């Protein structure tokens, strides 16, 4: 057995050397990246040197671990469509669009390299640097897999070397660490770049992040401190999960922690997040709105129905998103994650989805926010017909889930949800959707309704301070169907293009590519600066006026937004959805298939 392990280890090293040599020799358009280690293949762990998180003794050690997951027995349906042959002129147009996106990425990446290397972000107007996520080089790590996917080999090698040599997760100057953001950006970014490239330096660094984050689970009930005082933990001080915790920050760690367990063979990471999933599953049928969890949960008391507001958008979003994605990662068409996903979608359709009132009457949906209260044991609810940019991931979520579970109804809702966000984009003079808005709604979400200006005006009157609706619409330049725009910013978010990408990959319909290009031209015109692209303060400015730039470019611009735009114009076999699943920061992980990783 020992001889066998050494033989496998030698073969793995040779494969890494060959992959490194091959990387610069050929186009990657249809080439499969090298396979990383699989469960059962020996993993050479770095030595337990002076890295504090490997030496730290836990106050509440876990004494029994759930076993590593293996691929489900189900043969899941394919996610990707069968793509028709492409006409030469259509291919030429697609490649020109793809290359334009790549050029925009290179522009933003160059600004980061020249002005903020190894810092979290570059300011795209003034060319300054700032740290927003621990000072661990968020833009660098978030961009690693995009660099690989876009075949920017020299920049990828330089970024990997910098991450390996110059970024340490031993400590930070930040007072607290957001465990969720650190997981999706840093752990997710490193694991995905490892899955794509097979570079062992990335896995070693991901293991460092995993060791650090696992210390946040050292609480009496083994639920994490989501806004975490890393420094107190390093001193060995006692810590406990918080009574007020966002659902998304508690329920969106599963993909990254499970993937880390799969590639290292260390079951404790998967054990930690599986415990959360089991608590969510137990609570789901018995919440005030069965099938859904509130935005706020009490992690200290393990109460997953502590809050009163239920939504799929901000602060809850990725907890729902990860349900079908965990099913995809593990190859399970039934069981814990698939069942929770199915129940949550049915509850969303019953309680959250609404049809917006629009001049065209096109069939579309948005998920609103449900406010629940309990009086004398009876639950009363009120639906707020809001439409934040963050909810625009839902179309893609249902497209993925609908394909995995072969549910045609979910696929129909996916198209309607995605069309809703595209309508919101088209409705604004800049061609870009605002961060948050309130909409007038049809009385019946099941079918479109005819345009009625009086219904729109009544919605404006309810949403705004006292005043005449026509004057409010004129003064605030409200597009037809919009009742209020509380936050008119665009901060380079990826959620809408994410759903358009998934609709294209699941249907093969090239019209989704055309919609994506319209989105891109509007976004680039709105946000471009001489250095890169910047968030803007107001997408609803008067015609002819340029919106003021916010001088901000979060790492997800390079890690998510530009990646999805690039992939929708790339060959569909590049990062196939039948082989990969994206985390909420658009980092692709190899799906577990047939009991092995990526096989």
Which CATH number does the domain housing residue 574 bear? Answer: 1.50.10.10
User: If we measure between CA atoms, which residue out of 148, 260, 198, 259 comes closest to residue 37?
Assistant: 198
The single residue of 131, 181, 346, 509 carrying the catalytic annotation is: 181
pLDDT level of residue 447 (50, 70, 90 thresholds): confident
Question: 74: helix, coil or strand?
Answer: coil
The predicted structure's pLDDT at residue 26:
34
Between residues 470 and 26, the one the model is more confident about: 470
CB 201 within 8 A of CB 160: yes
Query: Which is catalytic among the residues 305, 495, 538, 560?
Result: 495
Contact 214, 239 (CB under 8 A): no
Residue 227 parent element (H or E): strand 227-228
Instruction: Please count the CA atoms within 13 angstroms of the CA of 317 that sit on its side-chain side.
Output: 21
Which of the following is catalytic: 256, 435, 498, 538? 435
Containing domain of residue 59, as a range? 2-597
Is it the case that residue 155 has pLDDT exceeding 80?
A: yes
**Crossing angle, helix 336-351 and helix 394-404, to 10 degrees?**
130
Residue 65, exposed/middle/buried by CB under 10 A (0-12, 13-18, 19+)?
A: middle
For the residues 150-171, what does the mean pLDDT come to? 98
Residue 33 has pLDDT above 80, yes or no: no
Q: By mean pLDDT, which of 3-12, 117-126, 389-398 is the weakest?
A: 3-12
Would you place residue 12 in the very low, low, confident or very high pLDDT band (cuts 50, 70, 90)?
very low
pLDDT of 256 strictly over 50: yes
For the chain, counts of helices (H) and of strands (E) = 22, 17
State yes or no: 245 annotated in a binding site.
no
495 is catalytic: yes
Query: Of the residues 145, 199, 271, 317, which is catalytic?
Result: 317
Over residues 207-252, the pLDDT tens digits come to 999 999 999 999 999 999 999 999 999 999 999 999 999 999 999 9
Asked whether 124 and 533 are in contact (CB, 8 A), the reply is yes
| Neighbouring C-beta atoms of residue 171, cutoff 10 Å | 14
- Cα distances (angstroms) measured from residue 501 to each of 132, 255, 392: 28, 20, 12
CA 399 to chain centre: 15
Total domains present in the chain: 1
Angle at CA of residue 254, ends 288 and 558, nearest 5°: 110
Measured from the Cβ of residue 243, the count of other Cβ atoms closer than 10 Å reads 13
- Distance (Å, whole) CA 541 – CA 543: 6
Segment 438-465 shows an average pLDDT of 92
User: Beta-carbon neighbour count of residue 83 at 10 Å?
Assistant: 15
pLDDT of residue 46: 52
Distance CA 235, CA 248 (A): 28
Active-site annotation holds for 435: yes
């Amino acid at each position: 057995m020992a001889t066998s392990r050494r033989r496998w280890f030698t073969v793995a090293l040779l494969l890494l050397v060959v992959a490194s040599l091959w990387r610069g020799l050929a186009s990657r358009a249809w080439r499969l990246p090298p396979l990383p280690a699989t469960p059962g293949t020996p993993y050479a762990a770095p030595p337990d040197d002076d890295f504090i998180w490997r030496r730290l003794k836990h106050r509440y050690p876990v004494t029994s671990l759930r076993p590593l997951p293996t691929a489900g027995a189900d043969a899941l349906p394919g996610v990707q469509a069968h793509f028709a042959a492409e006409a030469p002129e259509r291919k030429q147009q697609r490649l020109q669009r793809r290359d334009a996106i790549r050029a925009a990425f290179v522009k933003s990446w160059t600004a980061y390299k020249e002005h903020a290397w190894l810092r979290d972000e570059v300011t795209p107007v003034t060319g300054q640097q700032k740290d927003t996520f621990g000072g661990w080089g968020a833009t660098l790590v978030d961009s690693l897999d995009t660099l690989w996917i876009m075949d920017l080999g020299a920049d990828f090698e330089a970024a990997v070397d910098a991450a390996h040599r110059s970024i340490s997760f031993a400590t930070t100057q930040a007072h607290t660490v957001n465990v969720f953001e650190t997981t999706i950006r840093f752990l997710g970014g490193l694991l995905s770049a490892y899955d794509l490239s097979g570079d062992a330096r990335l896995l070693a660094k991901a293991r460092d992040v995993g060791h650090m984050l696992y210390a946040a689970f050292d609480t009496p009930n083994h639920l994490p401190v989501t806004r975490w005082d890393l420094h107190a933990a390093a001193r060995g001080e006692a810590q406990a999960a918080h009574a007020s915790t966002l659902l998304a920050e508690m329920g969106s760690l599963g993909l990254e922690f499970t993937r880390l367990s799969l590639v290292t063979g260390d079951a404790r990471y998967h054990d930690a997040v599986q415990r959360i999933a089991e608590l969510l599953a137990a609570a789901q049928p018995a919440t005030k709105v069965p099938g859904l969890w509130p935005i706020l949960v009490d992690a200290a008391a393990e109460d997953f129905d502590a809050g009163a507001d239920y939504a799929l958008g901000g602060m809850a979003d990725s907890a729902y998103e990860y349900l079908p994605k965990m099913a995809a990662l593990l190859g399970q068409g039934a069981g814990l994650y698939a069942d929770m996903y199915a129940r949550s979608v049915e509850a969303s359709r019953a309680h959250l989805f609404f049809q917006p009132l629009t001049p065209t009457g096109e069939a579309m949906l948005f998920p609103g926010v449900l406010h629940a209260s309990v009086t004398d044991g009876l639950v009363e609810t009120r639906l707020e017909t809001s439409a934040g940019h963050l909810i625009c991931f839902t179309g893609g979520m249902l497209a993925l889930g609908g394909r995995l579970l072969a549910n045609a109804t979910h696929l129909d809702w996916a198209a309607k949800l995605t069309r809703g966000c595209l309508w919101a984009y088209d409705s604004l003079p800049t061609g870009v959707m605002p961060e948050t808005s309130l909409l007038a709604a049809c009385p019946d979400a099941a079918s479109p309704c005819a345009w009625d200006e009086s219904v729109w005006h009544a919605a404006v009157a309810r949403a705004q301070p006292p005043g005449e609706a026509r004057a409010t619409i004129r003064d605030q330049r409200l597009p037809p169907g919009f009742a209020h725009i509380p936050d008119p910013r665009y901060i380079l978010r990826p959620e809408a293009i994410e759903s358009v990408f998934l609709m294209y990959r699941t249907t093969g319909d090239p019209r989704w590519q055309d919609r994506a290009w319209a989105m891109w031209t509007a976004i680039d015109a709105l946000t471009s600066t001489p250095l890169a692209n910047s968030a803007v303060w107001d997408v609803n400015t008067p015609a002819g006026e340029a919106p003021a730039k916010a001088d901000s470019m979060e790492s997800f611009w390079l890690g998510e937004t530009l990646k999805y735009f690039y992939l929708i114009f790339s060959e569909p076999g590049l990062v196939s959805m039948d082989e990969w699943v994206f985390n909420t920061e658009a980092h692709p992980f190899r799906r577990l298939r047939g009991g092995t990783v990526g096989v």
